[in-house]
Structure 1
Amino acid sequence: MNGLPKVKINVNNDGLGQVAQTEDGVSAMILTGTSVSGGAQVGESFQVFSLDEAEAAGITSTANPYAYKHVQQFYQEAGNGAELWLMLVADAVSMEDMVSSDENYAKKLLDDAKGAVRLIAVSRKSDGSATIANGVDADVDNAVVKAQALIESYADKYKEASVIIDGKDFNGTVADLKDYSTSDQEFVSILLSNTDGSKNAAVGLLLGRLAKDPVMRNPGRVKSGSLPAIEGFFTNEQAIEELENAWDNIHNKGYIFLRSFVGRSGYFFNDAPTCTVASDDLNNITRVRTIYKARRVAYGVFVNEILDEIPLEANGKIAPALIKSWEGLVDNAINLTMTQNGEISAVRTFIDPAQDVLATNEVRVSLDILPVGYAKYITVELGFTTSLS
């Protein structure tokens, strides 16, 4: 390990072998809009904590109706007090450019927020002239690739975030949709639904549900209650119910959309997949949020130990007392901030006493997180019987 003395924590994403708002829910949206005199300016980021504050900045139903719709849905779910960073961009700006590390949109917003943003959504208002590729606007997949690259560049700085891309202008042909379960963009998800029958996804609604929940909570959790919507659509302007026979197929391809349940009123999100393979531990937004929260907590503990003295035994190995101390510090920090809140099931820290810190000037730590499980599939064997004894 070279360069400045530092803590480096690598995230292992194949360990599972899978086939009220906190700072974890700080959110951001980049949306099509126009500058307002004395208020929001195109290309400039700003922070609000309520719909009223957004309106005071010019995000109103008259001055910026498209952005207003998304911000309104965000606060319907997240509630007043939720921290939201916003940036308006001209209608010519693609989502690919919004999230590109070569452009000053998402990059500028993340920098302005000083690493606080954990969830970010981008949406370009559909004008009906999209070039379709993979069943949606070609801009969607381009944005997925650029968003992954952008967040990867911030992850090493402990400023990672999950990105929601508007799956706009769906052509209605499920077979055309790209199968993102074969991709490797674990920081990015695509939303394919809305509540108003338009060609844009309700990114503010999904962002609001994620923002108000703890990191481990799936936005599709039925016990969380239905969404504030009386209708649900795909972004081809088609009602959710009209494609019910294709729900499984769309789900298996890694998209987020609205669904309903027989006997239960309202609409719910189907799940929170990310654009990556099923064998990747980070194939869901909940897993991404959970592991990176643990990473930030561990960083907060270990950064305090940079360049501290390491007492050694006569054999040159790390003193057991120090090992126990460090292991305890990390376990306690993660247990207090995550385990006790039900965000993970357990944590285990291990420091190998046999490592040669004199030769390497490096202390290697193994940090294992046992996540919570999810009742995604419930199978009941039901039948008649001649006796219950």
Structure 2
Amino acid sequence: MLPGVDIEFQNGQLGTVLNRPDGVFGVLASAVAVSTTFLLEKDYEVKSMLDVAALGILPSVGNYRLYKFLEEFYNEVGNGTALWIMGFANTKKVSDFFTPDVTTQKTPAEKLLDAANGAISGLFVSFDPSVAYVATIETAIDADVLLALPKAQLLGENYTKNEYAPFFVYLEGYAFSGDKFTLVDLTTKEYNRVGVMIGDSQKRTGAVPSKGAALGILAGRLASNSVQVNPGRVKDGAIKSTTAFIVDVPVQLYDVGSLHDKGFVTLRNHKRKSGYYFSDGPLACAPDDDYHFIPQRRVIDKAYRLAYDALVEFTLDDLDVNNNGTLQALSGSIIEQAVIAKIFSEMSVEGELSYDPSDSSDKGVICKVDLTQNITSTSTIKIKQLQVRSKAYARFIDVPLGFVPITNI
């Protein structure tokens, strides 16, 4: 085994009750090639709709959904944000994007991840199959979505472990039938790197039929904010799209609460506020999973990347040890402070972690090296504790409203 760093995610710590480098995303899309400017299964990096135009991607047959994703992404985030694109033949299903090749054991999605050299922290899907594709509706959505969920989760776990580049995935609740009662309950799943969205900016039976979801808007909203921000935060304002539908029903006329309760990302409105907002940012796992919501997923993934960047500097470094082969306290402290300083400066100071600025010892991150580990014989530094302090989120606000009591004088 090559010398390196091994970091394991902890879970069950929160006690949950029912142009940023960490905003570099990728989109896997059904598409058609455009001459020599846009080829299938080839990676492209764009930073504006001008770059998209240079590739020849237009809102025409074959690339309409991809163009829509890109346009809605840049409407939300603005020009200058990097986005990686890879198109696939419209005969491929979403589950195919995450299925390993029998020879190379590489998934098509990995081609894009590898091309970005670990920069991608989130993958989104834009599915636009050929007219011959007939969705098999199972639990109210295309059965292929259910097949893609565990495959995407496995890729996320393996790529994190092998490449030290964690990421999340959002899929479309493709071909949602509109039946909220038979819809699959994602909160019973265990996919805390994968989420599913239902809801689009266009009707199902519009001029161009839409069976997918407005993931370009979600991606743009996430990319425009730091990792701890919930995509549904009201103070960020409404999404740019002035229309939002569940199948053919305007969002405000559909029971979007039922979609939220089953763990889907969707769109909603707020009374006496104009426009549409995201309901929340769940992933397909139980609500008491520490990483059920996308802000916590993005926060822990960024901390993971930063911890790796700090710790990899000590790979094959010579270290001072005691007579029994254990690490000397000063050497352990140097390692701890390297990790703490890295995460503090790039997360806590940026408002992405909770900490008390009035307490000089509070950095929002704890790192402890195991000083009982015999490094001489094992060649292994063991970090016995690495934790960051998450922000809290006001999902519910309870208010006791009444009259000021009259006092007899």
Q: TM tier, shorter chain?
A: over 0.9
Compute the displacement of 1:38 (Å).
2.6
1:187 counterpart (174, 183, 193): 193
Alpha-carbon contact 2:66-2:126 (below 8 Å) kept: no
Cα pair distance change 1:4/1:105, threshold 3 Å: closer
Compute the displacement of 1:191 (Å).
0.7
Letter in 1 for 2:176: F
Distance between the aligned counterparts of 1:26 and 1:79, measured in 2?
A: 13
1:4 counterpart (2, 5, 24): 2
* 1:107 has 2:106 as partner: no
Q: Percent identity?
A: 34
* 1:169 has 2:175 as partner: yes
Alpha-carbon contact 1:100-1:107 (below 8 Å) kept: no
Letter in 1 for 2:111: K
* 1:228 has 2:240 as partner: yes
Distance between the aligned counterparts of 1:122 and 1:108, measured in 2?
A: 15
Letter in 1 for 2:68: K
Compute the displacement of 1:13 (Å).
1.8
CA shift digits 1:185-242 (9 cap, x unpaired): 11101010111113210111111111111111111111111101112112x2222122
Alpha-carbon contact 1:91-1:125 (below 8 Å) kept: yes
Compute the displacement of 1:314 (Å).
4.3
Distance between the aligned counterparts of 1:280 and 1:324, measured in 2?
A: 32
Q: Where has structure 1 moved over 4 Å in runs of 4 or more?
A: none
Distance between the aligned counterparts of 2:191 and 2:404, measured in 1?
A: 49
Distance between the aligned counterparts of 1:122 and 1:356, measured in 2?
A: 47
* 1:73 has 2:69 as partner: no
Letter in 1 for 2:294: I
In structure 2, what is the equivalent of residue 129 of structure 1? Answer: 134
Compute the displacement of 1:181 (Å).
0.8
Alpha-carbon contact 1:93-1:124 (below 8 Å) kept: no
* 1:158 has 2:164 as partner: yes
In structure 1, what is the equivalent of residue 388 of structure 2? Answer: 369
* 1:259 has 2:268 as partner: yes
Compute the displacement of 1:359 (Å).
3.2
In structure 2, what is the equivalent of residue 241 of structure 1? Answer: 252
Alpha-carbon contact 1:43-1:89 (below 8 Å) kept: yes
Alpha-carbon contact 1:162-1:188 (below 8 Å) kept: yes
In structure 1, what is the equivalent of residue 149 of structure 2? Answer: 144
**SS, match of residue 165 in structure 1:** strand
**SS, match of residue 276 in structure 2:** strand
Alpha-carbon contact 2:65-2:127 (below 8 Å) kept: no
Distance between the aligned counterparts of 1:355 and 1:38, measured in 2?
A: 57
Q: How does 1:1-389 map to 2 (within 5 A)?
A: 3-19=1-17, 21-62=19-60, 64-102=63-101, 105-125=108-128, 127=131, 129-156=134-161, 157-197=163-203, 198-234=210-246, 236-244=247-255, 247-314=256-323, 316-345=325-354, 346-365=364-383, 366-387=385-406
In structure 1, what is the equivalent of residue 359 of structure 2? Answer: none
CA shift digits 1:134-190 (9 cap, x unpaired): 111111111112111111120111122111101111111111111111111111010
Distance between the aligned counterparts of 1:300 and 1:194, measured in 2?
A: 38
Distance between the aligned counterparts of 1:309 and 1:343, measured in 2?
A: 34
Distance between the aligned counterparts of 2:277 and 2:342, measured in 1?
A: 34
Letter in 1 for 2:213: A
Distance between the aligned counterparts of 2:407 and 2:180, measured in 1?
A: 46
CA root-mean-square deviation: 1.7
Alpha-carbon contact 2:145-2:173 (below 8 Å) kept: yes
Provide the TM-score with structure 1 as the length reference: 0.94
Distance between the aligned counterparts of 1:45 and 1:292, measured in 2?
A: 23
Letter in 2 for 1:380: V
Compute the displacement of 1:104 (Å).
5.0
